[in-house]
A and B are shown apart, each in its own frame.
Chain A
């Protein structure tokens, strides 16, 4: 029985309350102040004020515009006069000789219609750019005299960059660059070009209805083959990469669980009476977890080379530690009564474990496992980017080229969809497999919440 101090005077109580308030106020304002102070320190430690200077906004602009648009290059070799047309200027996206999109008219004088009145003409000798509201720019490239440009009278606007050997005009409709050897026009379009079929496929440019008609006449295999082996977007490789990433997560997670479960028994007080083995197993778990996935990846990549197996093993090893810890905690919390009940029916040791222990821990284990399956899909992407395997590798490759940003955007969308799909799938599986467990949980949670919410 604790006695209340009744001899406290009013002043004492007041002083006590004041102290409490001061302390609360300190905590209330001190914590945010501390956070703010730390963030200020980080602001200077990371030199964020200098970031604007170091950042390359031009890169950012190309990145964003390139991720949702593409450009078609129309290039003229100024020595031979040959005109070639290619999407993104890549050989994979080149139009076959003599073919051109509707806005380019090949001939003695190649006429390129950039819309809104902008027209570029590649003549036999001169190159003209008709800019509405400004006039006609004429240029005559030659090896001997460089690029001789004729601009309309008046000041040269800043979107025209003219020098002896180079003329560059950038307008909203497109871009024209002329050097001694080469004249090139870029026209920008919105969308991801050649996503379904490349130009060499007979199905390029066909409408959906027409394709459905051809599927009906038995060309489904050929159509799918052309789509699947698209050289520009490499759908086949991307599908394999995603499969590899999921495979890494699957093998790593379940392999780790299979390895960790027997080891977890060794690390528990109630199943393993030998203290030394218990201690050793726990330290092994700690060690494996402490050596980060990064280090495991580096070490394993040396032995196995790049690929999905390395990623799977790195996940497996790291998660063995985590699972071992989680599982052994779950096993220490099992109810001894059920095991005794099973034992009283004359069950031997394996039967006791099978019917007394496993049913108790299965819900905890499964739900952990499925949480990790989703999180490991993300880890597998990251590990793939380091060791080379799966969609992570494709992503880093596309970023390193620094120009295929539409592919980068495509991969990012695929990664997000993949992770969300795995999240949904593991959640669905969890609900299916451990219905009663979640039901119990909710029952526990509800009354607790209700006592607060209801009067």
Chain B
């Protein structure tokens, strides 16, 4: 009997507590939402007031520049093909910067990842050091290194390549070490017992396990690096970005060239995105098949 009454009162209690909790949650959620909206609004106002041109009058002029460029390009549409051919070498340079940086960065990232994974590192006590190195490489925006290197090495593709490769090594080092952590150490132990040295253990024991994932991440990086390499060109490191800045600083009369560069960059990015998406799809599905067998 007492149990029953106690039970009913506790149901009431539970209900009360539940309602109180939901209400509290709602209040917290509401406060968070209000805070977020206020932050966004205040941030927007601050950004607007510190900008050279305001949002309100700028908004109507957003399409002015594209219209100007497009109309001029349309007038000189006959020269478009010639421009595309002219700027093709610059596109190749941009692609080369991205590809070389991705390759070098992947090699660096692989090294950093192996060095910062337990069971694979040559010097296990230095694992935190290599992790920090990867963190720092990842944190530096490419443009910082590129600008400094341009001062020392002069303009050209090499500073951009080094800068992008460094950042790539850091970013991939982190992703790769996450992949490494899921890799089995048994092949490594087996190879070790057969007398393999470190590089043999890694190349024959670890890389075949993690290869598809590595390649998939590297392809994703390649997409990102093409964009980065175009931006590096804009600050003086050669390639499409450099040509774009030149064409733009000439202003009116050379807009057809700017339009040609826009087209090249856009088409390249879309093609590479699609291609690498397709390849990554193949790789991940392939590895799933391999894992299930």
Contact status of A303 and B269, CB under 8 A, knowing A294-B234, A382-B142: no
Interface code A273-313, partner B: CB below 8 Å = 1, 0 otherwise?
A: 00000000000001001111111001110111111111010
Is B81 on the interface with A (CB-CB < 8 A)?
Answer: no
A399 to B156, CA, bound (A): 17
Is A93 on the interface with B (CB-CB < 8 A)?
Answer: no
A385 to B228, CA, bound (A): 13
In the bound complex, residues from chain B placing their C-beta under 8 Å from that of A416 are 136, 139-140
Q: Are B99 and A304 in contact (CB under 8 A)?
A: no
User: How big is chain A's contact interface, by range?
Assistant: 35 or more
Is A423 on the interface with B (CB-CB < 8 A)?
Answer: yes
A291 to B248, CA, bound (A): 17
A349 to chain B, nearest CB (A): 21
Is A120 on the interface with B (CB-CB < 8 A)?
Answer: no
Is B47 on the interface with A (CB-CB < 8 A)?
Answer: yes
Q: Are A291 and B140 in contact (CB under 8 A)?
A: no
Partner of B40 from A255, A304, A415 at Cβ < 8 Å = A255
Is B103 on the interface with A (CB-CB < 8 A)?
Answer: yes
Is B124 on the interface with A (CB-CB < 8 A)?
Answer: no
Q: Dominant SS at the A interface? A: helix
Is A154 on the interface with B (CB-CB < 8 A)?
Answer: no
Is B88 on the interface with A (CB-CB < 8 A)?
Answer: no
Is B123 on the interface with A (CB-CB < 8 A)?
Answer: no
In the bound complex, residues from chain B placing their C-beta under 8 Å from that of A395 are 144, 147
Partner of B186 from A57, A255, A452 at Cβ < 8 Å = A452
Contact status of A305 and B51, CB under 8 A, knowing A55-B152, A63-B151: yes
| Tally of chain B residues near chain A (CB < 8 A) | 66
A252 to chain B, nearest CB (A): 10
> In chain B, what residue has the closest Cβ to A254?
B40
Interface code A18-53, partner B: CB below 8 Å = 1, 0 otherwise?
A: 000000000000000001001100100111100100
Q: Are A248 and B47 in contact (CB under 8 A)?
A: yes
Q: Are B227 and A244 in contact (CB under 8 A)?
A: no
Partner of A300 from B62, B158, B161, B265 at Cβ < 8 Å = B62
> In chain A, what residue has the closest Cβ to B265?
A292
Q: Are A290 and B235 in contact (CB under 8 A)?
A: no
Interface code B259-272, partner A: CB below 8 Å = 1, 0 otherwise?
A: 00010011001100
Within 8 A of A (CB), among B210-258: 227, 230-231, 234-235, 241, 244, 248
Q: Write 24 A-B pairs (CB below 8 A) sorted by A numbering.
A: A39-B100, A46-B158, A51-B153, A55-B153, A63-B148, A63-B152, A250-B39, A292-B265, A292-B266, A293-B227, A295-B266, A303-B59, A309-B44, A309-B58, A312-B47, A386-B231, A386-B234, A408-B148, A412-B144, A412-B148, A419-B138, A420-B135, A423-B138, A423-B139
Q: A244-B50, A292-B231, A307-B52 are in contact. List 16 more A-B contacts (CB 8 A).
A: A42-B96, A46-B100, A247-B43, A247-B46, A286-B270, A291-B262, A294-B231, A294-B244, A298-B244, A303-B58, A303-B61, A308-B50, A382-B231, A395-B144, A419-B141, A453-B184
Give 10 closest A-B pairs by Cβ, nearest first. A305-B52, A307-B51, A305-B53, A309-B51, A452-B184, A304-B58, A302-B65, A419-B139, A60-B152, A308-B47
